[in-house]
Structure 1
Amino acid sequence: MFTGIVECMGRVVEFARLDATEAGGSGASLTVAGAAAVLGDCHLGDSIAINGTCLTVTEFSADSFKVGLAPETLRRTSLGELQPGDPANLERALAAGHRFGGHFVQGHVDTTADIVEITPDANSIRYKLRVVDPALMPYIIPKGFIAVDGTSLTVCDVNDSEHWFTIMMIAYTQAHVVMPTKSVGGKINIEVDMLGKYAEKVTASILRGAADPEGSGTTSYIEKVVERVLQREK
């Protein structure tokens, strides 16, 4: 679990499509340097989010670390496009007892989005982003949470029919995350608010009658509520 508060920006050292070393596991791997800020308490097997993607540390030093990339990760995220020298947002998994500054971020990227427009607004920047998977638009709401390359941000405008939304980035955030280094046409990782997905799952289950296959889900649910109320009044 993460918060979407980026701790530091690292720098990609190597992206290997086939890493035959023990740490690479004979698959794809990514090595990031300039990461001392997130490695002081690191152990093998720990989770570090790179551009919002939760990944497992397989090798590390005082300043750099390596993670393996599963085929699903490469399909779902933009990590496969990273090149040596590219900056990357880094965040350690949330530790118990720490201040919670962003929102609940799993590090499980839902889709990518393309940068459509970049518009300066005083000392802030407004980004217009079009999601690759339009099925996720119901979870993106005005003033709701969203993780953009692992950065917890607030949604401004939403256009469901055209599959885009906007976010605003203040000056401080611009200096501490990777997004301002990207141009129109750039690809970013998107994770929608997981609480919305859970709420939909529970509600849909009730309405479908999944818990009561012999009757209407809505009718059955109402009947049970009425029955409980009547029992309390007896």
Structure 2
Amino acid sequence: MFTGIVEVIGVVSEYQAYDTSESGGSGVSITITECSEILVDVHLGDSIAVNGTCLTVTEFDKEKTWFKVGVSPETLALTNLGDLKAQSKVNLERAISGEVRFGGHVVQGHVDTIATIQSVTSDENSLRYTFKLRDAKFIAYIVHKGFICLDGTSLTITDVDQEKKEFSIMMVAYTQSKVVMPLKKVGDTVNVEVDLTGKLVENQVRAVLENQIENKDSSLVKLITQIVEKKVSELVK
């Protein structure tokens, strides 16, 4: 679990598509450096969010100046990690421990989809970003003043256009200096993790409705029956 509060911006030192080393697992591996401050307590198997994607540490050097992670095909399909290359900058956050203050919101590091930057405009010392979702269905979980995690950064939604499948956020000057998004331009993508709360509520409501509909004596079925009977009666008259 993460908070969406980026700890440090790391730099990709190596992006290897077919890493045959033991820690690479014959798949895609990414080596990240310039992040020693978050490696002081690192262990193999630890989780670190890279641009909002929860990845497992498979290797690090004795001096703790770099670490390596593996990336599965599914993760590559859902995220923009496949666009990384040597010298790319990435947001990094360690998984939280019990004593950490919770500054952002509950972030799993499980990216739902990506979004494309549609526009960037200045608003005094802040930047206003508008994004368009690749997978339109996730707009259902994006609400005005709700939480969203973009490239591992916890942000507040300032506007939602359900029809265009677009949403906007504001980024204050302090945050701009701590994350990679200001380095991106219109047309670039960000990893999107919608607020888990919306998914949980939807799942619970669906389960309750399905149970109610299957039970002919439920209050919902009785209500629907009454409404239908009333409408039929009005049509007959």
Length-normalised TM-score, structure 1: 0.91
Cα deviations by residue, 1:95-131 (Å, 9 ceiling, x for unpaired): 1021100000000000000000000110000000001
Match of 2:184 among 176, 182, 185: 182
Matches within 5 A, 1:67-216: 67-209=69-211, 213-215=214-216
Aligned length: 221
Cα deviations by residue, 1:155-179 (Å, 9 ceiling, x for unpaired): 0000011010000000000000000
Query: C-alpha displacement at 1:214, in angstroms?
Result: 3.7
Conservation of the 8 A alpha-carbon contact between 1:115 and 1:128 = yes
Task: Specify the code of the residue in structure 2 equivalent to 1:74.
Answer: L
Match of 1:20 in 2: 20
Q: Distance in 2 between matches of 1:218 and 1:135?
A: 30
Cα deviations by residue, 1:156-211 (Å, 9 ceiling, x for unpaired): 0000110100000000000000000000000110000001100110011101217x
Q: Distance in 2 between matches of 1:216 and 1:130?
A: 44
Q: Distance in 2 between matches of 1:100 and 1:6?
A: 12
Q: Distance in 2 between matches of 1:125 and 1:142?
A: 17
Which residues of structure 1 form unaligned runs of 5+?
223-234
Conservation of the 8 A alpha-carbon contact between 2:27 and 2:72 = yes
Query: C-alpha displacement at 1:75, in angstroms?
Result: 0.2
Secondary structure of 1:209's partner?
A: helix
Secondary structure of 2:203's partner?
A: helix
Task: Specify the code of the residue in structure 1 equivalent to 2:147.
Answer: F
Shift in alpha-carbon separation, 1:217–1:198, aligned structure 2, 3 A: farther
Shift in alpha-carbon separation, 1:217–1:25, aligned structure 2, 3 A: farther
Q: Distance in 2 between matches of 1:78 and 1:217?
A: 46
Match of 2:233 in 1: none
Query: C-alpha displacement at 1:93, in angstroms?
Result: 0.2
Match of 2:228 in 1: none
Q: Distance in 1 between matches of 2:27 and 2:169?
A: 35
Q: Distance in 1 between matches of 2:106 and 2:122?
A: 28
Matches within 5 A, 1:42-81: 42-61=42-61, 62-81=64-83
Length-normalised TM-score, structure 2: 0.90
Secondary structure of 1:215's partner?
A: coil
Which residues of structure 2 form unaligned runs of 5+?
224-237
Conservation of the 8 A alpha-carbon contact between 2:215 and 2:221 = no
Q: Distance in 1 between matches of 2:175 and 2:187?
A: 21
Cα deviations by residue, 1:27-48 (Å, 9 ceiling, x for unpaired): 1111100111111111000000
Query: C-alpha displacement at 1:221, in angstroms?
Result: 11
Conservation of the 8 A alpha-carbon contact between 2:128 and 2:171 = yes
Conservation of the 8 A alpha-carbon contact between 1:7 and 1:91 = yes
Match of 1:225 in 2: none
- Share of identical aligned residues, percent? 51
Rg larger in structure:
2
